[in-house]
Amino acid sequence: MLSGSAYLWIKAVHVIAIISWMAGLLYLPRLFVYHCTARPRSETSETFKIMERRLIKAIMTPAMVVAWTLGLVMAVDGGLFSQGWFHLKLACVAAMTAAHFFLARCKDAFAEDRNTRPEKFYRVINEVPTLLMIVIVIVVIVKPF
């Protein structure tokens, strides 16, 4: 069992990691929207490639790993796997992780100048993390079941 102080520090870092991860999940598709309008191999396109790569490698992926790791530590410590609301939260976090990896594949397509999706696709896909976040926050705060 974690001490009260340790638990609070873990929870604080977990929330910081979530905020960082969410920022990336919301920003990366927006970069893709603008990247769609850039001519392949242009200076603008090459700048977007650098921004997208750094966002995923330096911010999003480390934040996701920290969020998952500390979230699981708290879940095990708190015995949350037996609670129904936690199952829904976990499913939404798994979907968020799938979105992360999908966006990473999109980033690879842009990096290789082989993106075939239009701007509108990225505008729509940008809403997925937002919807998942809304469900997660409500489920964690309200604990409806």
Residue 35 annotated as lining a ligand binding site: no
Residue 89 annotated as lining a ligand binding site: yes
Rg (CA), the chain: 17
Cα 66–Cα 59–Cα 7 angle in degrees, nearest 5: 25
CA neighbor of 67 nearest in space, from 88, 106, 87, 97: 97
CB-based contacts of 48, cutoff 8 Å, min separation 6: 31, 34, 35, 38, 110
- Where is the binding site for heme, in residues? 14, 89
- Where is the binding site, in residues? 14, 89
